[in-house]
Chains A and B, each alone.
Chain A
């Protein structure tokens, strides 16, 4: 409806302040008396701490305090937790090694925090941090998960023998093995999913302020979920009880998952503020971000996919080793399990699936959810395998997929998920048409004449977002429920504030959420404000990740709007002496249907607050709260096609076209959705062609700056051709599925399928950099 309601391409309200440099980030916050912190970090990947001497540092100019883990422990500050319990297949709980916010007797990765220095200036804090003298006994390090599992490998945590955190399975091993045995064809592959550094534009930051008079803490932090941060910091880390701890996540410059977790620094800044008596601010530099932000992916898998003689998949077997780094980050355990293996059916009818996952400690940065979280890993396995199988079977990759598509809904997969709606054929058709898939052979021949190698690759992804039904995730080990809350406050003059537990850090909530309200009441977008990111304003919320803010966050707002609408109608019916059922709200007016009787919206709001003439027994005011707990996950899906041209002399890959056909359910703002898809594809192409975190054998991160870690840049990317063909999601009131991660999930296999097609090879490692591609070409020539 209208130019500002659902479906309108409204320009983002928040962009004015971002583009003009008027955004307010944690580093912009200034509190009277505020001082600056620097962390002392381990230069070693694995070492015992023999002695920490802070005397020299304490005497440095400007230093207010130097605090260590011993003092932190003495004050009862707890270890960091992992919020999702996974049990191994033998029934034993996952092996949690202790993660002290400041390491006490052992460091386990380069960047592990050991002490905090608080000083008058940032420079002085850093100078003094260098003067803290630590005696280490270096230990052998292990960075590779497969090697870490071997007998005799360095042991990262005493709690975990062979560094094994859990050995988990899902699905049916027996029937899957039988399917593979009986198969007409089996495609087998070893597939590596490379490790990535999230690289949010704004580095992590925390400002801790202890107010002695009130005995109250405030924490400004770069968080995707400030309420979860408050909950965890009060319930597990003993920083302060919830009523004495306010967490504010103001403008946040990107997260991609890396700002979901509660890290040592925010806990330590709060504690240090009380200890030193001054507000304490810490802002990471880029090196700290590379070293200590939770990384993403890092899986090594073997797969076997069985087909019958009609090319129907009869079984899929997966064995995965997932590197979780030195400590278990907040949601690290659910990423390679319930967010991953439950998606292994993809868009396909697969009668039986079995996946085994071993998670492993290594001397590297913790690994947790990163844009897509588990679903990119699942999609990469499936879609690399499907493409390879099509080549082995001598059928068109598009046809092999079509042969195996799920076409009736709801569909129960063998791995928990119950797909509620979709039309995979429609996305495949749209993508093959937009890319002129049929005309590829001609383009390949033309490229060959120019000495170039052309290839085309496809990826039909499905993912699960809108996380998640609380009871369901609770039964699977989650420590929290994954509902969302909303409060709609209509002011006396009819303007509206929506308080949401979702958190915007690039997603454009201030615009899309307001469009929902505009649609409902016909009030101008400008008269609706979205309030988020402050535990003192919003009562409770679960935050933004897993593409959940549309499907779950906006559904909660819709529910609260239902209540406001009902009450407004009651008031209007009373004032207009009409039947409640005849009242309609349109274009900012409250009308009696079929008559010319109406009231402007603001007058209904005013009546609610003057309370001079309300229906008998009605409370004054117009403000409603709702909690929405989703009935199911949502299942965005789509088809991506990538076409590449490779220069065989240099190994350079040029993406000549990239087509994305997505099904996101109903769409609130197509422009914002396209932006999310563009960003996701950019990151997916980044993973496939450019990005990769590398540690050397001693545990030093070799890619710890932009000199060596390749971020995708505009000139690395083609102009994307994106479209949507949508089946509304039946499980939530708005029919929304979610679009935040799809691009990053669907694109890497499409790119690698295109490259392997161009080179006539089965596999190539990501990132497929020019040197990697050149080496692959050379290897084929040697044969």
Chain B
């Protein structure tokens, strides 16, 4: 790690000011940024720590609307009783992220801002039609995740919370990379008042995406059997050491089937 100046922000406004200094970066759980700094792949001059800001903490459920503060840890999302009722699929997703140490430090805001193509949350937010609320504006998930590690965030823009309407049914199925245990394929299915949406993480060569083929099959019949014989094209999927595009295409169909079965259970 190169030497770096550390600042603990007291409020979002404070953080917004601090992040303008030098080549500063926002720090939340540090589970992505700190390892990158240790291997010298990231070299910010300053770190602005958001993790103690009160207004960024916690899960709120009012009626069907769920709002999760950006600095809420994966552990807290996984174990929030209100969320487990409103959208158990998302709590379950959070429980599958990394290991206990990662879940106790890592946060939803950090994960969403980082938009790792193998991260779990982007699939959920895209399928749920969530809104990403920043200190400047509100951005629809469909517009937010723009590519591999790319988002609609402007320099210094701070995510405050994510918000969505609880779906009638939802489930997440993840097939883990055997080494990193991120997703090789993660499929989030949600059935809400706007129909069925299915988002896939871990597989797309341009990051998280919605699977038209699977959505079309499920629109008619929200049942696992509706996916028998559905073919997911491999053309726009990643090939790496751990999985070929063809294997990922197969896994998308298999995980989608299992997710639908779980959502209906």
Contact = CB atoms under 8 A, between A and B. Distances in A.
B198 to A, nearest CB: 18
Contacts of A703: 179, 241
Nearest to B118: A707
A650 B175 contact: yes
A299 B1 CA distance: 38
B254 A650 contact: yes
A694 B242 CA distance: 11
A775 interface: yes
Interface stretch (A202-210, A420-428, A571-579, A766-774): A766-774
B242 A771 contact: yes
A123 interface: yes
B39 A287 contact: yes
Contact of B2 (A123, A710, A770, A774): A123
Contacts of B243: 771
Interface string A706-718: 1111110000000
B2 A706 contact: no
B43 to A, nearest CB: 11
Interface stretch (B57-65, B127-135, B216-224, B244-252): B244-252
Contacts of B3: 123
A649 B250 CA distance: 8
Contacts of A126: 40
B179 A771 contact: no
Interface string A697-709: 0000011001111
A709 B1 contact: no
A703 B240 CA distance: 12
A779 to B, nearest CB: 12
A112 B247 CA distance: 36
Contact of A649 (B1, B2, B179, B254): B254
Contact of B242 (A130, A650, A769): A769
Given A123-B2, A708-B241, A769-B242, A774 B180 contact: no
A21 B183 CA distance: 34
A283 to B, nearest CB: 14
A417 B265 CA distance: 62
B254 A123 contact: no
A690 interface: yes
B2 A127 contact: yes
Interface string B1-27: 111000000000000000000000000
A710 B178 contact: yes
Interface in B199-252: 241-244, 247, 250-251
B175 A694 contact: no
A774 B179 contact: no
A694 B251 contact: no
Interface string A742-783: 000000000000000000000000000111001100000000
A259 B10 CA distance: 49
Contacts of B1: 123
A624 B179 CA distance: 51
Contact of B244 (A130, A710, A711, A775): A775
A344 B251 CA distance: 41
Contacts of A710: 178-179
Contacts of A690: 178-179
A134 B231 CA distance: 52
Contacts of B241: 694, 702-703, 708
Nearest to A689: B178
Nearest to A122: B1
A649 B242 CA distance: 16
Contact of B247 (A702, A709, A774): A774
A142 B242 CA distance: 23
Given A650-B251, A708-B241, A770 B180 contact: no
A707 B243 CA distance: 14
A123 B37 CA distance: 12
Nearest to A772: B247
Nearest to B39: A287
A490 to B, nearest CB: 48
Interface string A587-617: 0000000000000000000000000000000
A709 B179 contact: yes
B2 A771 contact: no
Interface in A79-126: 123, 126
Nearest to B178: A710
Contacts of A708: 179-180, 241-242
A782 to B, nearest CB: 12
11 contacts: A287-B39, A649-B250, A650-B251, A690-B178, A702-B241, A703-B241, A708-B242, A710-B179, A771-B242, A774-B250, A775-B247
Interface of A: 123, 126-127, 130, 287, 649-651, 690, 694, 702-703, 706-711, 769-771, 774-775
In the complex, the 7 A-B pairs of residues with the closest C-beta atoms, listed nearest first: A710-B179, A707-B180, A710-B178, A649-B254, A771-B247, A771-B243, A708-B179
Interface of B: 1-3, 39-40, 175, 178-180, 241-244, 247, 250-251, 254
Given A650-B251, A694-B241, 6 more contacts: A649-B254, A690-B178, A706-B180, A709-B179, A770-B175, A770-B178
